[in-house]
């Protein structure tokens, strides 16, 4: 406002605050006394929300990560897809290879982003921020749940970018497709983040963490049938394929996509054979539930692990 009162106000304090800190008020604002309420479910919900929100803020600020995590899925989709097309043309019954691997690629983009999200808990430990969260008067489980949900959300956003590429692989858009893919991605991202956070409770060094995650997640991805049909596999691979949790995310995803395509029953049978356990055809709903249940179990283990530390 007027210039007059400023020098006076500044002279009255030893450490002048920058001008304009408040019109006629003294340099130091009045004391605002706040109170921390006893622990309740409400404070836990707030904690989960803010930890989740932090993941989103960080993701949004980290543009580089959004771009770099796109490289790998795009390579699979367009380079591998186009490159192997000539070899596979005979056996895909007229379905383009990139269309075939598209559901698998939707899964891997989420998997690797979720892995990085889980790694952030290791970074948080390294940069001390984990401590700030751990000493707060809330349950550790709230922190872990917020972290896992945040990681899952971020990874699914990343997946949405790939969903936008559906036209490039000749998959027509529809509301059910978008909603279905997003839901499946969210589920897979949740389970992978829970898995990562569970590992992060034990492995506190970022290098070892990334190494271990690569060592586990990459084979899981290859064995899952994201890049090949899981029908006539050699026995050993078929067994591993059925044991691999990712299989139960890839198959529903592929079924969902294929339902939106106009392809022959023959092609569907070869490219998207049902998953069987000892000859029993596993329903899609059970497959989805398997992924969810595993995610919950790993989340539970992660919570126990983090509660055990001091």
**Near another protein in 99-138, by CB under 8 A:** 124-125, 127-129, 131-133, 135-138
Long-range contacts of 34-42 (CB under 8 A, 24+ apart): 36/137, 39/137, 39/138, 39/139
Instruction: Pick from 12, 68, 176, 204 the residue near another protein by CB under 8 A.
Output: 204
From 147, 132, 137, 175, select the one nearest 43 (Cα to Cα): 137
Instruction: Pick from 49, 93, 242, 260 the residue near another protein by CB under 8 A.
Output: 49
Site for another protein contains 46 (CB under 8 A): yes
Spatial CB neighbours of 145, under 8 Å, sequence gap ≥ 6 = 48, 51, 299, 303
Site for another protein contains 39 (CB under 8 A): yes
Nearer to another protein, 36 or 175 (CB): 36
Site for another protein contains 90 (CB under 8 A): no
Query: Shortest distance, CB of residue 193 to another protein, whole angstroms?
Result: 18
**Near another protein in 256-275, by CB under 8 A:** none
Q: What's the CA gap between 60 and 18, in Å, rounded?
A: 31
Site for another protein contains 12 (CB under 8 A): no
**x/- track of binding to another protein for residues 148-187 (CB under 8 A):** ----------------------------------------
From 123, 78, 85, 118, select the one nearest 102 (Cα to Cα): 78
Site for another protein contains 31 (CB under 8 A): yes
Residues in the chain, overall count: 310
Cβ count near 51 (within 10 Å): 21
Nearer to another protein, 45 or 84 (CB): 45
Site for another protein contains 26 (CB under 8 A): no
CB 93 within 8 A of CB 270: yes
- Binding residues with another protein: total (CB under 8 A): 47
Instruction: Pick from 3, 4, 23, 61 the residue near another protein by CB under 8 A.
Output: 61
Query: Shortest distance, CB of residue 27 to another protein, whole angstroms?
Result: 8
**Cβ-based burial of 41 (10 A; exposed 0-12, middle 13-18, buried ≥19):** exposed
Q: What's the CA gap between 159 and 114, in Å, rounded?
A: 10
Instruction: Pick from 12, 67, 202, 281 the residue near another protein by CB under 8 A.
Output: 202
Q: What interhelical angle do 97-126 and 63-74 show, nearest 10?
A: 140
Q: What's 241's DSSP letter?
A: H
Site for another protein contains 62 (CB under 8 A): yes
Which positions touch another protein (CB under 8 A)?
14-15, 17-18, 21, 27-39, 42-43, 46-47, 49-51, 54, 57-58, 61-62, 124-125, 127-129, 131-133, 135-138, 201-202, 204, 309-310
């Amino acid at each position: 406002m007027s210039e007059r009162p400023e020098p006076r106000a500044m002279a009255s304090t030893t450490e002048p605050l920058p001008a304009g800190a408040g019109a006629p008020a003294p340099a130091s604002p009045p004391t605002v006394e706040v109170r921390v309420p006893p622990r309740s479910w409400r404070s836990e919900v707030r904690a989960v929300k803010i930890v989740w929100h932090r993941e989103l803020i960080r993701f949004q600020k980290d543009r580089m990560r959004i771009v770099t995590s796109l490289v790998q899925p795009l390579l699979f989709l367009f380079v591998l897809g186009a490159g192997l097309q000539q070899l596979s043309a005979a056996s895909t019954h007229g379905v383009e290879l990139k269309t075939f691997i598209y559901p698998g690629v939707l899964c891997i983009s989420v998997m690797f982003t979720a892995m990085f999200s889980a790694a952030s808990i290791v970074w948080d430990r390294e940069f001390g921020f984990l401590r700030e969260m751990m000493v707060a008067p809330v349950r550790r489980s709230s922190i872990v749940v917020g972290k896992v949900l945040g990681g899952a959300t971020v990874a699914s956003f990343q997946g949405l970018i790939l969903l936008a590429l559906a036209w490039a692989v000749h998959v027509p858009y529809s509301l059910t497709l978008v909603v279905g893919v997003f839901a499946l991605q969210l589920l897979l991202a949740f389970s992978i983040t829970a898995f990562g956070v569970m590992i992060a409770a034990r492995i506190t060094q970022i290098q070892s963490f990334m190494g271990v995650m690569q060592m586990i997640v990459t084979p899981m991805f290859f064995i899952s049938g994201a890049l090949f049909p899981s029908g006539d596999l050699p026995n050993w691979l078929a067994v591993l394929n059925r044991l691999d949790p990712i299989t139960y995310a890839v198959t529903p995803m592929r079924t969902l996509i294929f339902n939106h395509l106009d392809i022959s029953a023959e092609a569907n049978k070869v490219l998207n054979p049902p998953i069987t356990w000892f000859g029993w055809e596993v329903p899609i709903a059970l497959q989805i539930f398997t992924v969810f249940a595993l995610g919950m179990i790993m989340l539970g283990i992660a919570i126990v692990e983090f509660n055990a530390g001091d």
